[in-house]
Amino acid sequence: MPEEKDTINKLAKAPIESLHLDAITVVTNLYRAAQGLRNKMEREVLAKHGLSWTSFSILYDLWIWESVETKKLAMSAGVSKATISNITNTLERKELCYRKVDNRDRRITCVVLTDKGRKVMEELYPQFHQGEVEVVSSLTVEEQKVISGMLRRVIRENNF
């Protein structure tokens, strides 16, 4: 990313009172770290099963909760329900999950993990976790607690 100083010059013509350079730096580094994290995981762990980050996060939810409504999957993954519908189709094609219509409210569709899906998770999760550890290994455990606390506040305050 360019230097903040360059941005200041460009803003001569833009109607802005003042630049909050620290906010810019947080946002820039936050997104870059997350992007790198996702790319690393997809390349080093998930690619061998042709799974995207979002696909994996859905499988993870199903692994933990057994059966999850489409809408809750969307909220958990932070994507639209249309995306969940598409990804569920892909995962169904791979026989990693299946749909199940709710009997009480037939508008609701639940997604359920198959045995094959469970096996994939039991193979993949330890490797995924190893990647998580590696990514944050430059931070002490104490620092990890601090950064998690701050991120959690950002998430909460913005309803993310």
Partner DNA sequence: TTAATATCGTTTCAACGCTAACGATTATGA
Partner DNA sequence: TCATAATCGTTAGCGTTGAAACGATATTAA
d(CA 89, CA 98): 9
Tell me: does residue 47 bind a copy of itself (CB under 8 A). Answer: no
- Please, which residue, 71 or 101, has the CB nearer to a copy of itself? 71
- Please, which residue, 101 or 155, has the CB nearer to a copy of itself? 155
- For residue 151, the surrounding DSSP H or E stretch is helix 141-157
Of 52, 72, 53, nearest to 62 (Cα)?
72
d(CA 117, CA 91): 9
Tell me: does residue 99 bind DNA (CB under 7 A). Answer: yes
Tell me: does residue 69 bind DNA (CB under 7 A). Answer: yes
d(CA 3, CA 21): 10
Q: Which positions touch a copy of itself (CB under 8 A)?
A: 1-2, 6-7, 10-11, 13-16, 19-20, 22-27, 29-40, 53, 60-61, 63-65, 76, 78, 121-123, 125-126, 129, 132-139, 141, 143-148, 150-160
